[in-house]
Structure 1
């Protein structure tokens, strides 16, 4: 790819509005929650619905409850939203946000579908 075209594509990408943040899936039957920090909030609910429906989620307990209770018994919400103006630090920020919300909500064991984060 020539440098001019590459720069055009980078400029176009920089103009795309991307919001990142923390989401929650809540099982309305048993109250369990799942917390995730995501790099792009756009269409995230449909992403989770599709991946849970086809079994692509790597969380056996969440997947089992999804299959048992169905989509109507789960609620999606955004806990935190931020525009991705600082894309270079977004990965670190997402890790910190997830840690913060996991500490705050404690979605482990009987309360949720997450596993405690390992300290790095």
Structure 2
């Protein structure tokens, strides 16, 4: 029981890091790029995909259901650096970081699962 308590405490003490991640389909190389305020929640995203609950990208969910989790890899692309600028919120900074990666990778159409946002 002590080991369980120790692991729980370790988890709580691990700093919360925001960042951008990538999910890659190893069979067709299609990519999904997303961001999260807490990179520890990537397991939650896997859980949603496993349970047909990933509503952000229907195409990714469909292929996950067809191919299974072993056909995909998860990768952290970049962690959000702490910003001391009081005029920039973490949410805004994270959105900018995600946009940078979307521009760089272009995971749209045949290359990915993301949808271009209307501006």
Change (3 A) 1:57 1:33: same
Aligned-pair Cα RMSD in Å: 2.1
Q: Which residue of 2 is the match for residue 10 of structure 1?
A: none
Q: Does the Cα contact within 8 Å between 1:102 and 1:116 map onto a contact in 2? A: no
> What residue in structure 1 maps to residue 102 of structure 2?
102
Aligned partner (choices 27, 37, 40) of residue 38 of structure 2? 40
- Unpaired stretches in structure 2, ≥5 consecutive residues: 1-12
Whether 1:23 aligns to 2:12 is no
Shift of 1:76: 0.4
Secondary structure of 1:22's counterpart equals: strand
- From the CA coordinates, give the structure whose radius of gyration is larger: 1
1:74-85 → structure 2 map (5 Å cutoff): 74-82=72-80
Task: Using structure 1 for the length normalisation, give the TM-score.
Answer: 0.78
Q: Assess if the C-alpha contact under 8 Å between 1:18 and 1:42 holds in 2.
A: yes
Greater CA drift, 52-61 or 75-84:
75-84
Q: Deviations over 1:97-116 (max 9, x none)?
A: 11111000000000000011
What is the number of residues matched between the two proteins? 104
State TM-score, norm by structure 2: 0.79
SS in 2 for 1:99: helix
Alpha-carbon contact 2:80-2:97 (below 8 Å) kept: no
The residue aligned with 1:52 is 49
